Structure formats: structure tokens, C-alpha cells
Chains A and B, each alone.
Chain A
Amino acid sequence: AQKVTQAQTEISVVEKEDVTLDCVYETRDTTYYLFWYKQPPSGELVFLIRRNSFDEQNEISGRYSWNFQKSTSSFNFTITASQVVDSAVYFCALSEDAGTASKLTFGTGTRLQVTL
């Protein structure tokens, strides 16, 4: 069975600090996909990034970067120079490739609080 672990329940940082959100996953599939979603206080889930199991390149998008390491089954997310607007719950999710629908397994989320 698939599993996603986000061990950090809550993180508080001061604006402009860098912060890394950890994600560790378990799967027996050789083909799988990893996602990060953001859930701001308004409640909706916003897609941030997708990675497939064959692409270990790190990715940077503005202040956001992602580090995917198959050797440690981790897909960590770093926010550089955090801002108050980054305050949200962040979910890591794993999707199996079973040729059917994309059934996401979510972690329990990390609540990030950025203060002035």
C-alpha cells in the first residue's frame, strides 16, 4: 500500500527565512507520480507541482524549489525568502500508475505559519 509521511505538523518562521517541508513516501510501484498542493486559509487546494518517478531533476519556480531523491524516497519542498502569503497547509501526495484514475494518497499536511 502507498503511504506519504509529512513528519512536520507545523512550522513557524519569520518572513524572509527559508523553510523546507519534508515529504517521505512509500510505494511498490516503479512508475508513480508525486505532487505538492497548497491549502491556504480560504480552504481550496491549489496544485503546485508534479514529478514522475523517472525524473529526478530538481525544479525551481521563483521562490519555490523541489528536491526529489528516489534513493531516500523523499520529495522535499523549499520556500526561499518566505512571505506572509505563504502561510498555508501544504500537502504532499502520491499517485499510483495503475492505468485507471489518478488515485492520490495524501500526507497529513504541514501547516506553515509565516509571521512578520
Chain B
Amino acid sequence: NAGVTQTPKFRILKIGQSMTLQCTQDMNHNYMYWYRQDPGMGLKLIYYSVGAGITDKGEVPNGYNVSRSTTEDFPLRLELAAPSQTSVYFCASSYSPPAAAGFYEQYFGPGTRLTVT
């Protein structure tokens, strides 16, 4: 049971380039999330998904896109990378029945450190 895996671990992008951060979970969790963590700050929610085919914006969605075609995968796409997107990106997943969605803890991947120069 690998839990939540993310690739790549590190990446350097030039301004204007695009890339996809991969996230896979093998726990059959229905909810998945993308966060970014800037230095000295807590995590901020970018996008989340309540199930395959359903995604929604979080607190800081601008400059990002997501899709969820399967339960296991939740890739995050950066279009036209900007220096402001330099951050550590965490994917997470959780399972809960919809009526108690807030109750269950999230399991986090190891993170992807992205630098845009």
C-alpha cells in the first residue's frame, strides 16, 4: 500500500512553460486535494475533487487546472508558469461518506518542489 504518491519530486521550469504534476492514491479514497505551501506559510487549497469527473476550486486556483478521470489519479496542470507559482505542492486524499466529509483526516503525498525562473 503506497498511499499517496507524487511525481516528480523536484522540477525547475522556465517562465511560460507548462507542466503536469502527477498524483496517485491506492486507498480507494473518494476525495482528493491539491495544496501549495509557500515558505513559512501553511498550506493553501488549490483544487479538490469529490469523485471521478467532479472537481472544484479551492482558495488559490488561478493559473492551475485539474481533472479527475479515475478514482486513483488527480493530476494538476500548470499553464504558463510564473515565478509566483514557485512553491511546494502537496496532493492529499481522504475517504468519507458525504454527510461527514469534514471529519476524516487527509493523507498527504511527499510533495513536489517546483521552482519557476
User: A interface vs B, CB < 8 Å?
Assistant: 4, 9, 31-33, 35, 37, 42-47, 50, 52, 91, 93, 95-104, 106-109
Contact = CB atoms under 8 A, between A and B. Distances in A.
Contacts of B13: none
Is the interface on chain B under 10, 10 to 19, 20 to 34, or 35 or more residues? Answer: 20 to 34
B42 A102 contact: no
Interface string B73-105: 000000000000000101010101011111111
A95 B43 contact: no
Given A108-B40, A108-B42, A103 B110 contact: no
B23 interface: no
Given A102-B94, A103-B48, A33 B102 contact: yes
A37 B96 CA distance: 19
B50 interface: yes
Given A44-B109, A95-B103, A102-B104, 13 more contacts: A35-B105, A44-B110, A45-B43, A95-B102, A96-B102, A97-B101, A100-B56, A101-B48, A101-B49, A102-B96, A104-B33, A104-B45, A109-B42
Interface of B: 31, 33, 40-45, 48-50, 56, 58, 88, 90, 92, 94, 96, 98-111
A52 B88 contact: no
B103 A99 contact: no
Nearest to A31: B102
Q: Which 3 A-B pairs have the closest CB atoms?
A: A106-B42, A97-B102, A45-B108
B31 A101 contact: yes
Given A99-B98, A102-B102, A91 B43 contact: yes
Contacts of B92: 45
A32 B102 contact: yes
A89 to B, nearest CB: 10
